[in-house]
């Protein structure tokens, strides 16, 4: 069974942040600078967590996995926004 997750990260160092971005981009849809939507089965989730765990510093960085429930039977994907309207973001992540 596939579950949809929001994967959100806060990475302290630029090089690690770029690595985390690339890993997440291989597993899901880039929604905002540090937020991805990923449809994963249990094996894929474990693989993603392992990949990210090899890159981040446990004492400085944080990656959150927010389960949105099963991918199937959930109905249409709806994203609403306050402020600027939601638009698909396909550009690389730059932090200044």
Query: How does pLDDT run across 52-96, given as a tens digit for each residue?
Result: 999 999 999 999 999 988 988 766 666 666 767 766 555 454 444
Q: What are phi and psi of 14, to 5 degrees?
A: -55, -45
- pLDDT surpassing 70 at residue 1: yes
Strand ranges, E, within the chain? 3-10, 29-32, 35-40, 62-70
The pTM for the full model equals: 0.80
Mean confidence (pLDDT) of the chain: 86
- Specify the 3-state DSSP secondary structure of 84: coil
């Amino acid at each position: 069974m596939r579950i949809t997750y929001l994967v959100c990260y806060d990475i302290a160092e630029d090089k690690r942040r770029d690595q985390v971005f690339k890993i997440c981009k291989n597993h899901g849809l880039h929604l905002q600078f540090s937020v991805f939507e990923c449809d994963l089965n249990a094996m894929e989730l474990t693989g993603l967590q392992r990949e990210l765990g090899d890159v981040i510093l446990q004492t400085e960085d944080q990656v959150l996995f927010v389960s949105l429930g099963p991918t199937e039977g959930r109905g249409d994907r709806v994203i609403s926004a306050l402020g600027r309207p939601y638009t698909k973001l396909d550009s690389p992540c730059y932090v200044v």
